A = this chain, B = another copy of it.
């Protein structure tokens, strides 16, 4: 029987590629997306398209209200998404788009679903190369969550299996991710990365997410198929 995996799917480029990789490794994929008070629902629409096209067995949408706590430009309408930042890449600053404990919460839900499904494999498309600003995208965080998972659950304690948190793109550059995904047939037109799209859904081309994405496509020698309101160059 095919092993099951829970795959965190945001609708962005990284998680779509991660889902494609999990399928290529032979897992039956259960995709999990959060509606967490993002300022736009376009990411969620993208996740639904990606899950369908990339053959997830099931796709669940969990509503969680991270707005209740605030503290991030991604969940708090009073904070501005930064544009045209000078420093991209290996910055030691933690950006205002950081959402407190986001990946801890996401992985906790993934673990809960995995335990119910009888799955022991979790996939998360974190990436620490292009962007080192988020503490919960680092390998040491992932290793700590894996240890926690194997203490937290009945399934692990009863010896039914050992949880693994897979981070197949953690050490790749954005360009490598795009090349790898393109090779696996991922249609990046289905994905959405922009933190601040316009009313027509076009990406801004100027926030950190757009700029990393555009830089990745340029370095991969490919053209980004999504529509931009600004050329981002």
Binding site for B on A (CB under 8 A): 60, 62-66, 68-71, 94, 98-105, 108-109, 111-113, 115-116, 135-136, 138, 140-141, 144-145, 147-149, 151-154, 156-158
Contact = CB atoms under 8 A, between A and B. Distances in A.
Contacts of A109: 69, 101, 105
How many copies, total?
Answer: 2
Contact of A145 (B63, B71, B148): B148
Contacts of A102: 112
A148 B152 CA distance: 13
Label chain A's interface by main secondary structure: helix
Given A65-B63, A94-B157, A140-B151, A101 B105 contact: no
B71 A100 contact: no
17 contacts: A60-B68, A63-B63, A66-B112, A68-B113, A71-B112, A98-B154, A100-B112, A100-B154, A105-B108, A105-B112, A135-B152, A135-B154, A136-B151, A141-B148, A141-B151, A144-B148, A147-B148
